[in-house]
């Protein structure tokens, strides 16, 4: 694929925000590999992690014990590449890019994992913060990485998750710079969507999370903040990948950071009632 394949989808196709989830999945199945921020407005995006069945209980318990970074939207039957969240979708082909892990080591980042699929894999679909970006934008909060055509920056923190069975690891966070006058709105709007990470875990000094340099994210792209912007950090669904690296299961498949699964679910399905 040429170099445009990994450019943000908002640059690849100016109409990506208006695609249906089915259209987006078809484009990804055909090989489009860019980040999904800004795609299929109003539809819920999901992180993916697939583990062997004998690790599935540990993963389910890890998610239950760490619900903010790992909010579960669906869990598949062993070997099934389908999900109730998207009619006719195939989890082996319909994401822009995947990651293949052996013994906690990243070995490959293909755009199709049919050849790596196993009959014992149980897949977990977890809420994604790209989902609440539409609520932020509708409320007037600037989304800097979308303005700049970049993937959201993500950082491994020094904050450990609660262990579960054989799984352990640090929380990963995504960061969005927010102008001070929009901070209250950003917190309120994201908090109304707990199934896609909910409100921030931290605002302000990145050092409080053990992050040394915002210009060097562990995943995604660095983003340029305005002088008065406050860095705001949300729990991130890349956290299970950090757990894979720390815990070293024999095999796992995940999405590539920022390249999510587009579900048919509407964002409002996961919005709770708020109080003005």
| pLDDT at res. 149 | 87
Distance CA 35, CA 256 (A): 9
| pLDDT at res. 1 | 30
Burial label, 164 (beta-carbon count in 10 A; 0-12, 13-18, 19+)? buried
One digit per residue, pLDDT tens: the chain, 276 residues?
333 344 444 444 667 888 999 999 999 999 998 889 889 988 999 999 999 999 999 999 999 999 999 999 999 999 999 999 999 999 999 999 999 999 999 999 999 999 999 999 999 999 999 888 888 999 999 999 989 988 899 999 999 999 999 999 999 999 999 999 999 999 999 999 999 999 999 999 999 999 999 999 999 999 999 999 999 999 999 999 999 999 999 999 999 999 999 999 998 899 886 544
Tokens of 55: 């690790």
What are the Cα distances from residue 18, in Å, to 15, 96, 187, 223, 239? 5, 17, 26, 24, 29
Kindly report the CATH number that applies to the domain delimited by 131-235. 3.30.2040.10
């Amino acid at each position: 694929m040429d170099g445009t394949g990994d450019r943000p989808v908002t640059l690849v196709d100016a109409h990506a925000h208006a695609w249906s989830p089915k259209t987006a999945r078809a484009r990804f199945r055909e090989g489009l590999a860019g980040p999904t921020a800004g795609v299929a407005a109003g539809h819920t995006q999901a992180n993916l992690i697939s583990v062997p069945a004998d690790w599935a209980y540990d993963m389910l318990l890890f998610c239950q014990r760490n619900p903010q970074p790992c909010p579960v939207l669906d869990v598949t039957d062993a070997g099934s590449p389908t999900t109730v969240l998207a009619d006719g979708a195939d989890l082996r082909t319909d994401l822009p890019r995947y990651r293949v892990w052996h013994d906690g080591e990243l070995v490959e980042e293909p755009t199709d994992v049919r050849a790596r699929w196993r009959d014992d894999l149980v897949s977990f679909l977890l809420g994604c913060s790209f989902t609440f970006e539409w609520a932020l934008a509708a409320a007037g909060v600037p989304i800097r990485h979308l303005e700049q055509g970049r993937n959201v920056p993500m950082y491994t923190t020094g904050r450990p998750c609660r262990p579960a069975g054989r799984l352990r690891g640090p929380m990963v966070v995504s960061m969005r710079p927010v102008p001070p006058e929009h901070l209250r709105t950003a917190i309120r709007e994201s908090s109304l969507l707990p199934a896609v990470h909910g409100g921030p875990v931290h605002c302000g000094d990145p050092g409080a999370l053990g992050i040394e340099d915002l210009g060097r994210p562990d995943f995604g792209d660095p983003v340029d903040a305005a002088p008065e912007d406050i860095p705001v950090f949300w729990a991130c669904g890349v956290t299970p990948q950090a757990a894979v690296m720390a815990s070293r299961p024999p095999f796992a498949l995940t999405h590539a950071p920022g390249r999510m699964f587009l579900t048919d679910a509407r964002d409002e399905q996961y919005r709770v009632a708020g109080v003005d």
